[in-house]
Each structure stands twice: as structure tokens, then as C-alpha cells.
Amino acid sequence: ISRRGVLQTKPDRCFDLFYETPEGKTCLDEATGAVSLPQFDHEAGSKNADESVVHLGAKFVQQLREYVFIIASTYRENAFHNFEHACHVAMSVNKLLKKIISPYWRPDEINGGSGGLALRLHEFTHGIYSDPLTLFGIVFSALIHDVDHRGVSNVQLIKEEREMAEVYRGKSVTEQNSLDISWGLLMSSQFKELRTCLFHNRDEMMRFRQVIVNTVLATDIFDRELNELRTKRWRMAFYESHPDTTFGNDLKATILIEHIIQASDVSHTMQHWHVYRKWNEHLFHETYLAYTEGRMSSDPSTFWYEGGLRFFDSYIIPLANKLRDIGVFGVSSDEYLIYALSNRQEWEQKGQETVAEMMKNYSSYRKR
């Protein structure tokens, strides 16, 4: 919004500010392999006005705060999948977005040429950095990604909520439910002015929706079919040539967005040990509660140690390596990998003892 104020662009009000998923369709039907991002705007890129001085308007700020407040209330009192986790993920997303930089640019490269730094950032990030709506969409997705989470896996949720599972065809049920609740709230008459500020035309609204659909669905990391598709797209983006440059850039941008949210969703595993220890215990307590309530067949205390090692080896460390391979985060990607390896090593040494401590702490957690 601030950037539009700087550019003094005028919105087109001749469009419908409302959209809902067509009957018989789901969010998953709208997911795409490559989100289409706007081309670089040379006029916008040449402007360097201070966005912080732009007045957003009291009504917009009020409605944005109201929206966040209601979203917070839709989170259940889970030990892990709660609003505090959503805020942690949102802050991690914001941190990663701010870490986007190339250490290889010389001063003359940054200041010279068409568009200068703005053009180079656009090209370097495959179009993400020059589009404020996409940047906002990624942070927005972090805020809503676990709305109404039931504290169990999709496999268990399908067993418990037959009607919901049928609506979403048994795929990414938790994630699609979060999207529908959050989008439905945004489309309500209560937030008409908020939509008017966020979107200048219907195309922008639909592009924003495409970003958040792809981003939230990317947090379902346990669906084998979806993971195979992501692996295929990764190979296509980084190991195959693309005669269509636009498609190639959009594909890489989509993969970058997905990896930002995936890394942020598990960012506690790639931070200081005490942060990892805190959130790991929260997840254990949430999982153990599900077990005691008959919503999980196996006692998590019997597999938590080995499962933690497998998760580091099969997902966290490969993900940290991919952040480095994408190449837009500079030395920050090395920081993520270093913390992941360090936490893996410490978990291997202290994990069994830690699980025993978490079991002792569980009774205190239940009394809250």
C-alpha cells in the first residue's frame, strides 16, 4: 500500500471485489505449478521515494487490525499449532525476505544500468522482490496457514471429519480448510474497505489469491503425491532449460515462495538450540495429548527420538541445502544449514534425555 502511495498509482474501481471458489471446486484445484508474476515496471523501479511517510488511512489500519484479531481467534488452543506459532512463522518469513541479497554485486552494478538496483533485485528474485502484493501475500499466508488446526495430522483429521474430507477429496484437508476460513473472512462485507486498499483491480485480487493458495498448500509436506510434484518442478526449474523465459522465471519464483514458507514453518529447527527445544516440546505435548485422547495409535514417546533424527536427515537438512542452492539469501542460507546440523547433532546426543524431560513436563502442561 505504501509503495503504491509513493508511485501515486490510481486504482480501477470498476471491478467485483468478491470471489469464492466455484461450486464443486477446491483450493487445490486452483494451485498452479508456476504463479504468474507481473513484469518489471521500469517507471516504478526508478522511483526511490520514502514509503514510510505515506499515510495509509485510519479505516485501513483499523480493518487490518480487526482482521488479524479475528484470525487469531480462529486458532485453537493447541500446544504447537496455535497463533503464537503463526506469528513465529510470519516473523521468519519476514526475516528471510529481508535477507534476499547478492554478495556478488559491485557498486557500479547496483547503481548503473536500466532500473539500477530495482531491476537487478527483480531479476535476482525472479520477480518477487519488485511486487509488494506478492511479498505481502507470503507474510499473509504465514499468518493464516494453520487457522482452525485440530491438533492432529491430515490422516487423522480425515478419519474424524468425514464431511470435511469429502469436500476436500481427502487432500491437504487442514490446509484447504485454513484457506477457506481465512479467505471467506477477507471476502466478508466487514472488510470491504480493506480489500479496496489491498487490490486495485480484480486481476490483483486473483493474483493475490493464487499466491496464498500455493503458499499455504506448500505447508503440507507429508503428502507423497504433492512432494513428488514439487521434486519434479525443482528439477524442471534448476536443471532443465526453458525456451520460455517468462515461464522459467515464474516457475523459479513459485519454488522460491514455497521454500520460504516451508523453511519458516519449521524455522525453529534451524535456530538456536533453546528455540528448537521449546517448539519441539510444544509439538510433542500436542501429539501426546492426541494419543491420550485416542486420536493417535502410537505413543509418541516411543518414536520421538528416532523420528527427530529422521526428520532432520530426510527433510530439514535437505531443505536448508535447497535454500542455499536457490542462491538468493547470501550467507543467511549457510546460517540456516549450520543451525540445522548443530541441532541435529545436539538432538542425537541429548534427544533421549530430552524426551524423558518432556514426558515429565507433560503433566504440568495438562494443568494449564
Q: Which residue has the higher pLDDT, 179 or 249?
A: 179
Q: Could you give the angle at the alpha carbon of 51 between the alpha carbons of 46 and 53, nearest 5°?
A: 135
Q: Is the pLDDT of residue 106 over 60?
A: no
In this structure, what CATH number is given to the domain that contains residue 182? Answer: 1.10.1300.10
Domain shared by 259 and 277, yes or no: no
pLDDT value of residue 5: 53
Domain shared by 345 and 214, yes or no: no
Q: How many domains does the chain have?
A: 2
pLDDT value of residue 6: 47
Q: Provide the whole-model pTM.
A: 0.91
Domain shared by 261 and 274, yes or no: no
329 assigned to some structural domain: yes
61 assigned to some structural domain: yes
Domain shared by 243 and 302, yes or no: no
87 assigned to some structural domain: yes
pLDDT value of residue 54: 65
Question: Percentage of the chain surpassing pLDDT 70?
Answer: 86
Please say whether the beta carbons of 139 and 205 come within 8 A: no
Q: How long a stretch of residues is the chain?
A: 368
Domain shared by 116 and 62, yes or no: yes
Task: Count the Cβ atoms, other than its own, within 10 Å of residue 107.
Answer: 7
Q: Is the pLDDT of residue 243 over 60?
A: no
Instruction: Give residue 125's domain range.
Output: 1-8+25-222+235-265
Q: Is the pLDDT of residue 2 over 60?
A: no
The owner of cell 526508478 is 46
pLDDT value of residue 9: 54
Task: Count the Cβ atoms, other than its own, within 10 Å of residue 10.
Answer: 8
Highest mean pLDDT among 16-25, 45-54, 152-161, 331-340: 152-161
Q: What share of the chain is helix, strand, coil (3-state, %, to 5)?
A: 70, 0, 30
Domain shared by 176 and 272, yes or no: no
Identify the band that residue 307 occupies on the pLDDT scale cut at 50, 70 and 90.
very high
Q: Which residue has the higher pLDDT, 297 or 118?
A: 297
Domain shared by 351 and 261, yes or no: no
Q: Is the pLDDT of residue 105 over 60?
A: no
User: Across the chain, what does the average pLDDT equal?
Assistant: 89
- What does the pLDDT average to over 146-153? 98
Question: Percentage of the chain surpassing pLDDT 90?
Answer: 73
pLDDT value of residue 113: 47
